[in-house]
Amino acid sequence: MTQSATTLMRRAIARTRAWWAASRADLGASALEWAIIAGVVVVAASVIGGVVYNIVDQKGVKLQQCANQPVGSACSK
């Protein structure tokens, strides 16, 4: 009886050690994955920022061109 309990305990410890070693090996891959995700987010934010900037710039140019036009002209429509 004691021998089987000892054997079960040793197996449990071995499984736990194997799991712990495998989980620690994944830490490097996880850091690389986070770096890739961060890079993708930075690129996406840059693209979105560029699109918004171009829209605002175009509207600003149109506003400057139409600022001195009288009400009812082609610019106010």
Ramachandran category for residue 70: left, alpha or beta (phi over 0 → left; psi -120 to 50 → alpha): beta
Separation CA 13–CA 6 (nearest Å): 11
17 within domain boundaries: yes
Average pLDDT for 11-28: 76
What gap in Å lies between CA 20 and CA 42, rounded to an integer?
A: 33
Residue 55: pLDDT over 90: yes
Query: Considering the domain boundaries, does residue 75 fall inside one?
Result: no
Domain boundaries, position 35: 2-67
Quick one: average pLDDT of 21-39?
Answer: 76
With respect to residue 27, please indicate whether it lies within any of the assigned structural domains. Answer: yes
Mean pLDDT, the chain, rounded, equals 83
| pLDDT of the residue at 27 | 60
Q: How many domains does the chain have?
A: 1
Whether the CA torsion 47, 51, 57, 61 is positive or negative: it is positive
Residue 75, pLDDT score:
74
Confirm whether 19 is domain-assigned.
yes
74 within domain boundaries: no
